[in-house]
Amino acid sequence: MTRILHASLRPFAAIAIYCLTLSLAAAQSPAAPAQAQTPASPLAPGVTNIGSIYGSGARQLITIYVKPFVNKGVAGADPTLEKTINNDLMLSGFFQGPRVQAFADETNRLDQAKGTIQFAEWVRVGVFYLVNAEYAMESGQAKVNVRVYDTVSQQYVYGYGYPYDPSRARGLGHWIANDIIKRITGQEGVADTQILFIIQGDAMGRTKQVAMMDADGSNVRTLTNRGELAATPCWGAHGTEVYFTTYRDFNPDLMGMILNSRYQWWVSRAAGLNLSPAWCEANQRIALTMTYEGNSELYTVSREGKGRTRLTYNRAIDSSPAWSPDGTKIVFTSDRTGNPQIYVIDLNTREERRLTYEGNYNDAASWSPDGKYIAYHSRRDGEFQVCLMSPDGSGSRVVTEGEDPSWAPNSLLLVFSSKRNGASQIYSMFADGTNVRQLSHVSGGAQSPSWSPARAKSE
Amino acid sequence: MGNRTTSITRSVGKPGLACACMLVFLFSSGCLRPSGKSAPRITPIATPAAMAAPAAMDAATTSTTANGAMRAANPESLGEGARLLVGREFDPVYFDGDGTELDSEARRILGEYVDWLKGHGQVWLALVGYCGPDQGSKFGYNLAMARALAVEDYLVANGLDRKRIYSIGYGRTGSDDATANRVEVMGFMAPSQPAMISAEPDNPPEPERPVPEDYR
């Protein structure tokens, strides 16, 4: 049924995407000077390489100001778009708002009075990039025309006319924010991605639901039933599937779900735990922890649950697998030395190697999509800390208080859960520990976040 | 494929919900909760989901796993009054800090349970393992499960049939004291007519390269 539906919808979607691509190309060519030209700002290079952030001192944030949008005759325009763009820019970890908002507002009034942008004034109040946007009707269609300026070089960075639909302002805001981030920093934004997490249901915390939210914490929706006990969600094939553990059938079984279709199937229903799945797009396998042979061991299965392969053989608990981006290694937790430590197994040689030696409780490793870092949590003095290290185990360091880190697809941001403000909630941060922002506001508590892969781009 | 798809959907849908309801009911039911002297007292609640739990179960709800352990039982035997049917309560088994080893006190308690259960073949057990909030969220599930399995193995080693037991790792609890590290033992009446379905995983539809969903 689902397949038939998909197949029949596909031509329409393809046509829609094709038209969209055409209209974008048409809209873009006269306005934007060059497609991928990154402006030569003295501030930008410092943020393009995490290697330079990691271990170094303070990172320079780019001061950006989004001018209040001007409405030229579009009915129903509301502040959602403006707020979403502003919020996404701040969440990206590259930007900061003006130091003194009043100065920026004053300069904006000066711009309006003179009718042109007073670049020197903007530099004087410390704003280096300006976003100037207006709603306008163009040949019967509502548009939002966004223009970005570099105030230091007094250059027009890029401009674009986006079709505007008030009911889809949030998605459009993510799109625009990503474009601005890409043009200014050269980095891919993650504003249009999603985060999976677990909502602890009632006051007793007895139910746990799999939920999903946009990367800015908005648009929270649950994927499983009320009253269900679910755990450890992860993203699956193509970023359109989700795998999670559920007690729906009174055993912690692994279930697969296709997003937006609610199509579900059992991936693994062995007796005992079928827990903490991790999907590898490179070789199309799920790594998970299973106990049906009497002890927590690592296995891999296909997304249909076929071809079960056992990876670890010892009497300790082996758990929490995470793939290297190329799918050749799996990093996992084992307490074979008496306390949980992080190990890595090479899938070709089956060679296992211990990575962490600091702290007596290290768990929940997550390999960055660019392969350069492993994030994990470490229990220090009874508190969980998010830590980073190189894939060879060297250079470990504590980043911030929190647990269960998960990488954003651009390898620059991390999402994690923390109890810093009372109940456990989901936070995001730049990988160097700066720009920590609370994303979830769930009464019962939120945990086990998992950041989606990059959104499929229209080809 | 079409027929197969339909049957999968059915087996996952309605009875799955019933089981979820049952599970919540099991967890939230004060009657099933042993009132050990140091066990945290939890007020019974009845969630709307639990209230709406259907009494009749589909045949597909119960299944037998690879090792023969029952996955789900008749909810009627797990509902209100289960304690009265079983005829006794079971105290939880406590563990030290990060450990999964049974101490002498735990062995003594479990030995007593085995003796009693051997004379009451109609009573089956659910073991629910917990760990404290100081455990990692992922590792904690494994620790909780390992504890439940340690109890299960001990019971089996002392002559109890493994199909009468099923074990759950719940994971972390909110309570901060030593009682968080425990396995709760819950008795329920054996299901009268266990139905069998295959434990083989169901087939999802073929993987498709997704069309980028343009919500813009």
pLDDT (tens digit per residue) in B174-210:
666 777 899 999 888 887 654 444 444 455 555 554 4
- Cβ contact B169–A273 (<8 Å): yes
pLDDT per position in chain A (459 positions), as tens? 434 434 444 444 444 433 333 333 333 333 333 333 343 333 333 333 333 444 444 567 889 999 999 999 898 888 999 999 999 999 998 899 998 999 999 999 999 999 999 999 999 999 999 999 999 998 899 999 999 999 988 988 889 999 999 999 999 999 999 999 999 988 889 999 999 999 987 655 568 899 999 999 999 999 988 778 899 999 998 888 999 999 887 788 999 999 888 688 999 998 888 999 999 999 999 999 998 888 889 999 999 988 999 999 988 999 999 999 999 999 999 999 989 999 999 999 999 999 999 988 999 999 999 999 999 999 998 889 999 999 999 999 999 999 999 999 999 999 999 999 888 999 999 998 889 999 999 988 899 999 999 976 543
Give the pLDDT score at B38: 37
- CA distances from residue A212 to A178, A222, A267 in whole angstroms, order as listed: 20, 6, 20
Q: Which two tokens stand for residue A405?
A: 């880190």
| Neighboring chain A residues of B23 at a CB cutoff of 8 Å | 227-229, 247-248, 250
CA angle centred on A111, ends A107 and A114, rounded to 5° = 130
| Amino acid occupying residue A182 | K
Q: How far apart are CA A289 and CA A338, in angstroms?
A: 19
Q: How far apart are CA A131 and CA B98, in angstroms?
A: 54
Q: Kindly state whether A336 is in contact with chain B, defined as any CB-CB distance less than 8 angstroms.
A: no
- Cβ contact B136–A377 (<8 Å): yes
Count of alpha carbons within 13 Å of A52, Cβ hemisphere only? 8
Residues 63..82 of A with a Cβ closer than 8 Å to B: which? none
Nearest to A252 among B9, B50, B168 (CB): B168
At residue B30, does pLDDT exceed 50? no
Under 8 Å between Cβ of A399 and A385: yes
Which of B165, B135, B202 lies closest to B68 in space, CA to CA? B165
Give the pLDDT score at B213: 46
- Cβ contact A291–B209 (<8 Å): no
- Cβ contact B141–A273 (<8 Å): yes
Q: How far apart are CA A331 and CA B61, in angstroms?
A: 36
Across residues B122-140, what is the average pLDDT? 86
Helix (H), strand (E) at residue A4:
helix A2-31
Give Cα A203 distance to the centre of its chain: 28
Nearest to B20 among A228, A403, A448 (CB): A228
Give the pLDDT score at B10: 33
Give the pLDDT score at A456: 64
Give Cα A371 distance to the centre of its chain: 16
Q: How many CB pairs under 8 A join A and B?
A: 228
Give the pLDDT score at A350: 93
pLDDT (tens digit per residue) in B133-167:
888 888 888 899 889 989 999 999 999 998 888 78
- Cβ contact A231–B146 (<8 Å): no
* pTM exceeds 0.80: no
Please report where in the chains the tokens 């352990």 appear, as a residue: B69
| Neighboring chain B residues of A379 at a CB cutoff of 8 Å | 134, 136
Nearest to B174 among A205, A319, A364 (CB): A205
Q: Which two tokens stand for residue A411?
A: 């390898």
Q: Kindly state whether A333 is in contact with chain B, defined as any CB-CB distance less than 8 angstroms.
A: yes
Give the pLDDT score at A458: 46
**Read out DSSP for A68-131?**
PPEEES-TT--THHHHHHHHHHHHTTSEE--SSHHHHHHHHHHHHHHTS--HHHHHHTT--EEE
Nearest to B139 among A1, A205, A333 (CB): A333
Q: How far apart are CA A45 and CA B162, in angstroms?
A: 63
Give Cα A384 distance to the centre of its chain: 21
Alpha helices, H only, chain B: 2-12, 14-28, 48-51, 82-86, 104-118, 137-157
Q: How far apart are CA A456 and CA A240, in angstroms?
A: 9
Share of chain B above pLDDT 90, in %: 17
Between helix A169-185 and helix A80-91 the angle, nearest 10°, is: 40
Can you name the residues that pair with A221 across neighbouring β-strands?
A212
pLDDT (tens digit per residue) in B61-113:
333 332 233 333 333 334 445 566 777 888 999 998 788 899 999 999 999 99
Q: Which two tokens stand for residue B110?
A: 């479990």
Give the pLDDT score at A382: 84
Between B50 and A337, the more confident residue is: A337
Q: Find the closest chain A residue to B17 by CA distance.
A: A248
Give the pLDDT score at B52: 29
Between helix B104-118 and helix B137-157 the angle, nearest 10°, is: 50
Q: How far is A107 from chain B (nearest CA, A)?
A: 33
Please report where in the chains the tokens 């403000």 appear, as a residue: A421
Under 8 Å between Cβ of B82 and B187: yes
Which of A432, A398, A396 lies closest to A414 in space, CA to CA? A432
Q: How far is A205 from chain B (nearest CA, A)?
A: 8
- Cβ contact A319–B42 (<8 Å): no
- CA distances from residue A275 to A19, A114, A287 in whole angstroms, order as listed: 43, 63, 9
Query: Which residue, among B24, B142, B170, would best test binding to A if mutated, counting the most A CBs under 10 Å from its CB?
Result: B142
Can you name the residues that pair with A277 across neighbouring β-strands?
none
Give the pLDDT score at B167: 83
Q: How far is B133 from chain A (nearest CA, A)?
A: 10
Under 8 Å between Cβ of A184 and A56: no
Give the pLDDT score at A275: 92
Count of alpha carbons within 13 Å of A43, Cβ hemisphere only? 20
Please report where in the chains the tokens 């009749």 appear, as a residue: B56
Q: How far is B142 from chain A (nearest CA, A)?
A: 7
Q: How far apart are CA B73 and CA B57, in angstroms?
A: 9
Nearest 5°: phi and psi at A191?
A: -65, -25
The complex's ipTM? 0.70
Who's near A338: CB < 8 A, 6+ residues apart? Answer: none
Residue A430 burial class via C-beta count within 10 angstroms: exposed 0-12, middle 13-18, buried 19 and up:
buried
